[in-house]
Structures are given as C-alpha cells and as structure tokens.
Homo-oligomer: A and B are copies of this chain.
C-alpha cells in the first residue's frame, strides 16, 4: 500500500502486549478494532448454549475479525490469548477509510478475505465429509508438511484444543490416536512419529481442495 496511508493507519494504531488467557474480544461485541497478531498465539472460540468450540488458532502474522471490521458487524467469535502475546490494534473506522482511499490496500484486504472464506469452506467440507479419525489423520499430515516433511515433529497445541478444533472430545482424540497406531503413527506427549507415510496417506486421502491452505 501507499506509505502515506500506511502511516495514517499506524498513527491510529495501538501495539499492546497481553498476558496469557486474556479475552481480547467477545462474541457478539461490536468490532472496534482490526487485530493483528505480531507475537504469541490467539485462540478463536465460539459458544452456544453452554457449549463451546475452538474455531481456529491465529499465529503471527495473522489477523482476525477482518470481515466484522469491513461490515461493521458484531464479532462471530471470541478471541483469547493462549500465551503472552503482542498485538497491533487498528481502529475499524481507519481500516474502512483506508480501504476507500488506497486500492492496493483494498486489493490486499480482498485477497485476505477471499482466502479466509475459502479456508472456512474447506473446514466445512472437512467436517461434513470426514469422520473424526479421518480428520485427525489429515491434521497430522498437514502438520508434517509444515514441519518440512520430518518423520518426527511436535504438535504445537494441547490435545484438548486439538480435539475441539477437529470437532471431537478429548477422550475420543485419545482413542483416535491409538487407532492410528496400525497406520504407523505414534504420539508420545506432543511428539509425533510417522513411520508409515504411505499407509497414513491411504487412510487420510488428503486433497488440495480441503487440505491445502494456500490453494
């Protein structure tokens, strides 16, 4: 974007460091700020009737509630820091103003939004078309790719959270992990070992149209 517009945006912005387990935004609130995670980890949650679920994990450099900011609509999810995190907060109005003024910025916003939308569609396909075991198998494969294909790598979230992301209970995640043993997957603590890639692929049947975050 144009550097003058960037300067305007930044002049109105706050940089702030938050302790762990702080609720940054609450489902249903008005969207006053666009949030950008610069450091740390933020969990996006949704709840209904005393149930709740983890919708996503946001890490640097990720944004959240761009859509609510654009539409000036209430947040659909809550956000909570998982660890000490540093965020940039840009007033929603400034974002909307800059969008009008700077076409490069507008293009970037649209690209980001379209990406988020497609990610959400992929997630829906994952939930509706696959069993929980298949979702876990594909999750492991994706994490492996993000670890440059290493045979052994670390899970970067707690299992209870992973269970919620995958739409299952922590108990069933434990059982699903055992079920994957015959497919050459061993998980000890947060250390994952994939000893039979082929058989895991055979079970998971990953496809870019669900599992490739960049496509």
Contact = CB atoms under 8 A, between A and B. Distances in A.
A79 interface: no
A138 to B, nearest CB: 10
A107 B73 CA distance: 16
Contact of A114 (B49, B113, B124): B113
Q: Is the interface of A mostly helix, strand, loop or mixed?
A: helix
A72 to B, nearest CB: 10
Interface residues on A, range: 35 or more
A76 B114 contact: no
B106 A209 contact: no
Contacts of A111: 70-71
Contact of A118 (B73, B109, B114, B122): B73
Nearest to A115: B71
Contacts of A179: none
A63 to B, nearest CB: 13
B76 A122 contact: yes
24 contacts: A28-B209, A49-B129, A49-B205, A53-B128, A55-B125, A67-B114, A67-B118, A67-B121, A70-B111, A70-B114, A71-B118, A76-B122, A76-B125, A76-B209, A77-B121, A100-B103, A103-B106, A106-B107, A117-B117, A120-B120, A120-B124, A124-B124, A124-B127, A127-B128
Given A55-B121, A100-B107, A109-B110, 11 more contacts: A48-B210, A55-B125, A55-B128, A67-B118, A70-B111, A71-B111, A74-B208, A106-B107, A113-B113, A120-B121, A128-B167
Q: What 7 A-B pairs are tightest by C-beta distance, nearest first?
A: A120-B120, A117-B117, A67-B114, A48-B129, A70-B114, A53-B128, A46-B125
Interface of A: 27-28, 46-49, 51-53, 55, 66-68, 70-71, 73-74, 76-77, 99-100, 103, 106-107, 109-111, 113-118, 120-125, 127-130, 167, 205, 207-210, 215
